[in-house]
Amino acid sequence: MITPLPFRLGVLDLCKVSSGLGPAESMFASLKLAQICESVGYSRYWVGEHHTSDSYSSNPCLLVPLLASVTRSMRVGFGGMIAGYQSPRWMAETAFALSELFPKRIDVGVCKGPGVAFREVSLELARGDEKRLTHEAMREVCFALNSFFQRRLASCALASDPGPKGVLCPDMWVLGSSINTARLAEELEAPFALSFLSRGTNLTNALDEYGSPIRVLAVSIICAETTREAACIGADIEALGLLPHNLMGSPDDCATALRKISADRGVEEFIVSNWIPSAEARARSFELLAKAVTTGVPANAL
């Protein structure tokens, strides 16, 4: 019997329209996916902010309460809010309201973005100000948002601070793929999730390039019944013009790779994403991975 691995699993849902489904059906598929993932041991479920035509929703604020309402204990949240598109006050008001509805279950991840396919969309969302899309601007937003959170935690909120009053504070995360963003998280004393979703399949080289210890790592994984099936799914995805995945293979392949990364890099949690077009196949991929990782079930027993 394989000993359960000393790390947690979470999900980052990119909110893409699933093949053969419409936008509303794809959203309901995400709600079902969250329930499946919770039942097999995933500890959190985040949704991304992507203003693209293949997203069934570009507004995580709509999805987070829906996801929290159909799950029981799993943490849910933003992976993440794009700093340049909203004010810190609006972000705090949204976070506090959700925390009132779902105490101790809300995560507020902040990232630089841009979360778009076309530059003109990013500029429109940033109200025409390119400076809002810089690391310096993200830093200002993060510090302002963190100030609201810290005053709430210390029970010394100002009269002018965002309401509602007396609500438990959600957890603030900083999300990114650079050393500079990791240092920002350190300054804020906030947890940092390192994202390599866009780095392609050569994950080892990307991790070597990053260098620093990593507590939480966001990666894209195709986990299928067999190594060959995973490779075929990956080839089909790349043929559609989508990014290659960081890892792919059988449940044993993927669990072994995550075990090694965790041991070598000190990773305590993997936030997993994939862009398998079929909602059913995507759910199965998450399920296979969790069973192999959390219970050590051999691939031929799944």
Chain segment 219-246, per-residue pLDDT in tens: 999 999 999 999 999 999 999 888 889 9
Q: Choose one of 195, 230, 256: the last residue of a domain.
A: 195
pLDDT digits (tens, 9 = 90+) for 174-191: 999 889 999 999 999 999
Mark whether 224 and 254 lie in a shared domain: yes
- 252: domain range? 1-8+196-297
Taking CB atoms within 8 Å and a gap of at least 24, the contacts of 148-152 are: 148/88, 148/89, 148/92, 149/92, 149/95, 152/96
pLDDT at 202: 75
Number of folded domains that form the chain: 2
Mark whether 149 and 224 lie in a shared domain: no
Mark whether 54 and 186 lie in a shared domain: yes
Q: Does residue 27 belong to any structural domain of this protein?
A: no
Mark whether 89 and 155 lie in a shared domain: yes
Q: What is the pTM of this model?
A: 0.93
For residue 46, give the nearest of 249, 251, 198, 193 by alpha carbon.
193
Q: Whose structure tokens read 């936008």? A: 23
Judged by DSSP in three states, 238 sits in helix
Mark whether 189 and 213 lie in a shared domain: no
* Average pLDDT of every residue of the chain: 90
For residue 186, count CB atoms less than 10 angstroms from its CB and return exposed for 0-12, middle for 13-18, buried for 19 or more.
exposed
Q: Choose one of 171, 195, 219: the last residue of a domain.
A: 195
For residue 233, give the nearest of 219, 225, 257, 254 by alpha carbon.
225
Provide the b/e sequence for 115-128 (b: ≥16 CB within 10 Å). Answer: bbeeeebbbebbee
Greatest CA separation found in the chain?
A: 60
